[in-house]
Every structure is written in C-alpha cells, then in structure tokens.
Amino acid sequence: MINPRDLHICRDAIRHGSLSFYTASKLLPAKVRDPALALYAFCRLADDAVDLGDHKIDAVLRLRDRLDLIYQGKPQDSAADRAFTAVVEAFEMPKALPDALLEGFAWDAMEKDYDTLSGVIDYSARVAAAVGAMMTVLMGVRDADALARACDLGVAMQLTNISRDVGEDARMGRIYLPLDWLREVGMSPEAFIADPIPDDRIRGLTKRLLKEATRLYHRGEAGISALPLSSRPGIYAARHVYAGIGGAIAKNGYDTISYRAHTYKSQKIGWLMLSMARTATTVALPQSAVLHARPLEECAFLVDAAARAKPHAPSWGDGRAGALLSVLAELEARDRQTQLERHGA
C-alpha cells in the first residue's frame, strides 16, 4: 500500500520527532503500525511546519493545499504526502478528520487564546482527538462508542502535552492553560508571559489540568476493549507512556517551567510489558459501561464524521465547513496584509 522508501522516511521522522508514539507503535500489528506511522509523520511534519517556522500563516495555507491534493489523489512530491495519500485511499479516511487538524493549526497560527477548559478541549479535539479518531479508522473500527473513547484518549494526551510545555509555551508568548483559571488565582496572563515563574499558583493549575487528563485517560481506556485484540497492546502502551509524562511532572512538583518532564527507557519498557499484561488480563472481562458514555461535546463532530464510511461526503456538518473556511479566509487576509507591509505598500 505504502511505498517502502516513503515508509522508511516516515518511520525515521517519527523515531526522531515523537518518541512516545514510536515506542507505543512497536506493539501494533504491522497492518496498523505502518499506516499509523505514515499518518503520524504527516501530522508531525505539518505541526512542525506551523510551530517552528517563521511564517506560520503561510504554512497553514500550504497545508490546506497539500490536503486538497491528497484527497484528489495527486500528492506533492513528498514521502509523507505520498504515504498519507495511500492511507486515505486504502482506509477511506473522512476528510473531516484532517480538516479538523488543519483548523487547530490555523488557531495556532492566529495565536488564538482559550478562556475556558472547554476552549482548551476544543483545541485539543482538533490537534489530538482527530488523530485518535483517524487511528481508530486505521484499525477498521467505526463504532461511535469506540471512536468517542479514542477522542477521550487524544484529548488526555494533549492536556498532558500542554501541562508539560507551560514554561516553554510562555517563553514563546503563548498560554494554553484556561485563562479564566489564571484569573481565578489572581494571575494576569500578560504578567505571566512577561515573567513565567513556577510559583504555587501556576503549579496548582498544572496539577488541575493533569487531573482532568487523568479522568479522560480512565474514560478513554474503556474503549480499548472495543478495538481488535491485536491492536490493544499498542493503544494501552500509548495511554501509559503519555500518562507517564504526567507522573514525571508530578514528581517535579508540577513545575514545568524550571524543568521539562521526561521519562526513561526503562520506564517505557515497563509500560510496554504492562500493556501486554493488561491486554491478556482483560480479554475475559466484561466491557466497562463507561464505553457507552456520551462523547465529549467538543469531540462529537469527530465521532460523527469518522463513523461514516464515505470519505468524500461533505467534510463538516452543522456549519463547520463554513467555520473552517472563515478561519482560512482570515488567515489569507492576514497573509496579504503581511505581504503588503513587507513590500512597503
């Protein structure tokens, strides 16, 4: 399905850019692992282009064009694009899912703020839960309950990432913690960005966000039993490896400004073994009733899109297509204004 040379490049990109996923992917069967590596490589390289580049708006607009070409079956001359095109065609991947990722990247380019936890989850739904839904499709699962739990895991992982990067983001002028949480403890977002200090208040907010992530890890893992047996160890591993980052943060007193939490190879090996053991232990157990919990309100559109088997059906319902187009139109307007200013017009 995927050109071996392209797959090798994708695997190498993930090994260097997303070690947590690369570790967990070793427990996936090859028929899922290879397309998953292609998917993650495309998403990771796109994320880096937006986050690390000097021209974030231009990067998002180019990503929009790349996705359009991929869904036309005419990818750019790039290993990640060619590999992702093969995945889209083989698994009938609904375009709404990478479109959601695109919208999340657009929000980053616009430096969108999030006043509430729901706003942070809205963002996490796009940049992480959408990937979880795509992973579920790769496993051949389009059951709404399983998809909802995959989205829970995706959001949990993103909240963990946000907790880990509080200091790094602040030094780049960004805050992903809910702004109303900062105001509740008497912190000005502007003052925190100007001088990020790991005092009791900010460490308390980091702990609070990780508590929400933990709740969603427990909700999300209820869906693992709805996945093919061969895929369960890899998803358990992803759940434990990412949650382990939260454990490292707790060990540092929830200070992610002075320290960047990391985990060790020995820990990862332990989590891989735990994941295999949990799969064997839970095979005979009844499914948890949590499997059937309603999806997070912020993720419901992803569940609805992924449960459909027609990849070229309208990408977004309930006005979401218009919302994405509006965001992209605003980015294009900003890009034109930037170009005019550069040329002194």
Return the CA Rg of the chain.
20
pLDDT value for 331? 80
Residues 277 and 285: their CA atoms lie apart, in Å, by 13
pLDDT value for 309? 56
Average pLDDT over residues 265-292: 87
113 closest CA partner among 53, 183, 18: 183
Average pLDDT over residues 320-344: 73
SS3 147: helix
Who wins on pLDDT, 257 or 49? 257
Q: Are 80 and 2 in contact (CB under 8 A)?
A: no
CB-based contacts of 180, cutoff 8 Å, min separation 6: 115, 116
Tell me: the pLDDT tens digits for 15-72?
Answer: 887 777 888 888 999 999 999 999 999 988 888 888 776 688 888 999 999 999 999 9
* Domain boundaries of the chain, sorted by first residue: 94-320
Residues 205 and 263: their CA atoms lie apart, in Å, by 22
Q: Are 165 and 174 in contact (CB under 8 A)?
A: no
Q: Could you tell me the pTM of the whole model?
A: 0.90
Domain 94-320 = CATH 1.10.600.10: yes
